[in-house]
């Protein structure tokens, strides 16, 4: 019997990467691939503890490898985590490829590598050394990918420094006339928040670009109609999104926290159509006490019902959640119009008819999930690529409003409440986001461009 093609899928070890890469893994399994998914031991344990989609009848085989950090070390130190991966993960991954096919029941010989671009060039080098096909997955926007692929030009135009990618001045630039004006201070590597490691991080990203020039496919979790200008700059990058991230057949997959499904969905069922403000800031964003309090008061001040995701670690320094005095009794008690959860089944929440708008940090998965479900945004970015994503939401697609800080850097309760009211009543914005929802759905249906691109990629990866 001929063994099926076998893909080794490697996400960057963060929530916003494990979720979309797991969807890529399942989409490959749908197309006849055996799939081995490589999580770090730390993240594997989190997904197991959250009960989020590992018992799927063996469609995807999970393998856990060390990330090189000590137990108890903070995995939110992204630059450190990134730098350790090559040393600790690369040898284990190479071993996995070389040893594959030796034991029965493990999917047979690994025939290709599908790696998150952010994992780094080492994964693609392992693929080259072991002679298997390789593809890079870009789980963020094509526009942000274009800033990376086009970094040579940014250096030549003296927009960024050649050594560490830092901003040279504050003159805005445009990668193409149909793309937004961007600021070099808002390039993802300039807003990761670790200035000491800036040069190392930039070098690593640049090496990643060189490596993907040699891989067989680059796929991106976006769609043609969302970013035509960015895709036309780099036609080899195939849009395959928006992927249905975070769930499969109505069940949560790949989450680090246990989604409070019952609490969210039955509460939403009891609300009128298009009445609820959904508030969620992804897996990393942290608030200082003052901003946290202001957000709570802003939600109270608006007259709308809200579902707010308050992760256990959402306050800086691991502080206890510090709600304004009386807030929980006034707003979130029995019969109150606010509902708090620690983690939601976000795709299902955004698809619920009672959800009216999304107060979001503009992480790319959240951005695609909002668009795919036709929900307008209050766009409130914190770091990395989120500033560019905000520009797309507010200036290019015009499906959301920007959250704007006052001179002390705080987004005030009056501003939050005012913007939410503005969003709820904006029929034009609703119409535009509905049109994007339609385009997103068309692209992922059979016959749509993203669907066709995924088929092309999968067929190409099957070749010997
Ligand atoms: N998410 C979720 N429940 C929540 C908050 C987030 O399922 O309560 C999911 C969300 O649907 C998305 C991912 O977590 O798929 C977050 O990725 P994103 O790129 O939006 O942000 P990041 O966490 O990387 O900052």
Does residue 288 sit within a domain?
yes
Whole-number Å distance between alpha carbons of 58 and 279? 35
Q: Please check whether residues 395 and 301 belong to one and the same domain.
A: yes
Q: Please check whether residues 240 and 266 belong to one and the same domain.
A: no
Does residue 254 sit within a domain?
no
- pLDDT number for residue 223: 98
User: Is the pLDDT at 122 greater than 80, yes or no?
Assistant: yes
User: Taking a C-beta distance cutoff of 8 angstroms, is the pair 298, 415 a contact?
Assistant: yes
Q: How far is the CA of 365 from the centre of ligand 1 (A)?
A: 6
- The residue whose C-alpha atom lies closest to atom 13 belonging to ligand 1 is 16
Q: How far is the CA of 236 from the centre of ligand 1 (A)?
A: 27
Mean pLDDT of 327-344: 92
Does residue 435 sit within a domain?
no
Does residue 432 sit within a domain?
no
Q: Please check whether residues 214 and 346 belong to one and the same domain.
A: no
Q: Please check whether residues 417 and 362 belong to one and the same domain.
A: yes
Residue among 43, 307, 363, 371 to mutate when testing ligand 1 (max atoms within 8 A of CB): 363
The continuous run of DSSP H or E covering 336 comes out as none
Q: How far is the CA of 283 from the centre of ligand 1 (A)?
A: 6
As beta bridge partners, residue 57 has none
User: Taking a C-beta distance cutoff of 8 angstroms, is the pair 338, 306 a contact?
Assistant: yes
- The whole domain housing 284 covers 260-375+377-425
Question: What residue ranges line ligand 1, CB within 6 angstroms?
Answer: 15-16, 19, 245-246, 255, 280, 282-284, 309, 343-344, 346-347, 363-366, 369
Q: Which atom of ligand 1 is nearest to the CA of 384?
A: 25
Residue among 282, 347, 370 to mutate when testing ligand 1 (max atoms within 8 A of CB): 282
Residue among 366, 384, 392 to mutate when testing ligand 1 (max atoms within 8 A of CB): 366
- pLDDT number for residue 53: 67
Task: Compute the CA torsion angle 369, 372, 375, 381 (nearest 10 deg).
Answer: 40
Mean pLDDT of 357-373: 98
Q: Please check whether residues 177 and 225 belong to one and the same domain.
A: yes
User: Is the pLDDT at 324 greater than 90, yes or no?
Assistant: yes
Q: Which atom of ligand 1 is nearest to the CA of 360?
A: 20
The 10s digit of each residue's pLDDT in 258-286 is: 999 999 999 999 999 999 999 999 999 99
Mean pLDDT of 330-353: 94
Does residue 1 sit within a domain?
no
Task: Compute the CA torsion angle 324, 15, 231, 166 (nearest 10 deg).
Answer: 70
- The residue whose C-alpha atom lies closest to atom 24 belonging to ligand 1 is 16
- The residue whose C-alpha atom lies closest to atom 6 belonging to ligand 1 is 282
Q: How far is the CA of 253 from the centre of ligand 1 (A)?
A: 12
Q: Which atom of ligand 1 is nearest to the CA of 342?
A: 8
Does residue 438 sit within a domain?
no
The secondary structure of 39-62 as a DSSP string is EEHHHHHHHHHTT-S--STTSEEE
Tally of domains in the chain: 2
Cis peptide upstream of residue 297 (ω within 30 degrees of 0): no
Q: Please check whether residues 93 and 149 belong to one and the same domain.
A: yes
Q: Look up the CATH number of the domain holding residue 360.
A: 3.40.50.2000
- The residue whose C-alpha atom lies closest to atom 15 belonging to ligand 1 is 365
Q: Please check whether residues 57 and 147 belong to one and the same domain.
A: yes
**This prediction's pTM:** 0.95
Q: How far is the CA of 267 from the centre of ligand 1 (A)?
A: 20
- pLDDT number for residue 159: 93
Q: Which residues lie closer than 8 Å to 68 by C-beta, 6 or more apart?
A: 84, 85, 87, 88, 89
User: Is the pLDDT at 462 greater than 70, yes or no?
Assistant: yes
Q: How far is the CA of 281 from the centre of ligand 1 (A)?
A: 7
Q: Please check whether residues 179 and 297 belong to one and the same domain.
A: no
Q: Please check whether residues 400 and 448 belong to one and the same domain.
A: no
- The residue whose C-alpha atom lies closest to atom 11 belonging to ligand 1 is 346
Q: Please check whether residues 420 and 447 belong to one and the same domain.
A: no
> Rg for the chain (alpha carbons), in Å?
22
Q: Is 173 left (phi over 0), alpha (psi -120 to 50) or beta?
A: beta
The 10s digit of each residue's pLDDT in 8-29 is: 999 999 999 999 999 999 999 9
């Amino acid at each position: 019997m001929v063994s099926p093609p076998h893909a080794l899928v490697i996400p960057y070890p963060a929530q916003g990467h494990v979720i979309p890469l797991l969807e890529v893994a399942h989409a490959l399994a749908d197309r006849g691939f055996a799939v081995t998914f490589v999580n770090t031991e730390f993240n594997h344990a989190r997904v197991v503890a959250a009960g989020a989609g590992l018992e799927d009848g063996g469609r995807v085989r999970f393998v856990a490898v060390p990330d090189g950090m000590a137990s108890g070390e903070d995995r939110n130190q992204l630059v450190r985590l990134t730098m350790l991966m090559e040393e600790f993960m690369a040898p284990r991954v190479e071993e996995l490829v070389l040893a594959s096919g030796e034991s029965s029941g493990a999917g047979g010989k690994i025939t290709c590598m599908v790696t998150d671009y952010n994992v780094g060039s080492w994964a693609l080098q392992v693929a080259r050394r072991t002679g298997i096909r390789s593809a890079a997955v870009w789980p963020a926007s094509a526009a942000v990918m274009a800033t990376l692929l086009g970094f040579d030009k940014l250096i030549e135009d003296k927009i960024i420094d050649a050594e560490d990618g830092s901003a040279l001045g504050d003159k805005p630039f445009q990668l193409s006339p149909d793309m937004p004006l961007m600021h070099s201070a808002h390039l993802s590597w300039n807003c990761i928040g670790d200035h000491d490691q800036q040069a190392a991080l930039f070098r690593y990203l640049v090496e990643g670009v060189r490596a993907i020039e040699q891989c067989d496919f680059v796929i991106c979790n976006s769609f043609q109609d969302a970013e035509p200008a960015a895709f036309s700059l780099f036609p080899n990058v195939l849009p395959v999104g928006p992927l249905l991230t975070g769930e499969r057949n109505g069940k949560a997959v790949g989450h680090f926290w246990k989604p409070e499904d019952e609490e969210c969905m039955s509460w939403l069922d009891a609300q009128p159509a298009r009445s609820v403000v959904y508030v969620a800031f992804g897996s990393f964003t942290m608030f200082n006490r003052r901003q946290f309090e202001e957000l709570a008061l802003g939600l109270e001040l608006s007259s709308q019902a809200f579902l707010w995701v308050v992760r256990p670690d959402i306050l800086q320094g691991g502080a206890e959640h510090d709600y304004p005095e009386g807030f929980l009794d006034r707003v979130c008690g029995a019969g109150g119009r606010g509902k708090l959860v620690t983690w939601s089944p976000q795709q299902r929440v955004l698809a619920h008819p009672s959800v009216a708008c999304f107060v979001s940090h503009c992480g790319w998965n959240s951005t695609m999930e909002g668009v795919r479900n036709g929900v307008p945004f209050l766009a409130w970015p914190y770091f990395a690529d989120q500033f560019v994503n905000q520009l797309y939401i507010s200036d290019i697609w015009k499906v959301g409003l920007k959250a704007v800080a006052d001179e002390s850097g705080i987004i005030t309760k009056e501003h939050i409440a005012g913007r939410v009211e503005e969003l709820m009543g904006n029929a034009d914005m609703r119409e535009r986001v509905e049109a994007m929802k339609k385009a997103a759905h068309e692209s992922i249906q059979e016959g749509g461009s993203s669907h066709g691109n995924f088929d092309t990629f999968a067929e190409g990866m099957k070749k010997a």
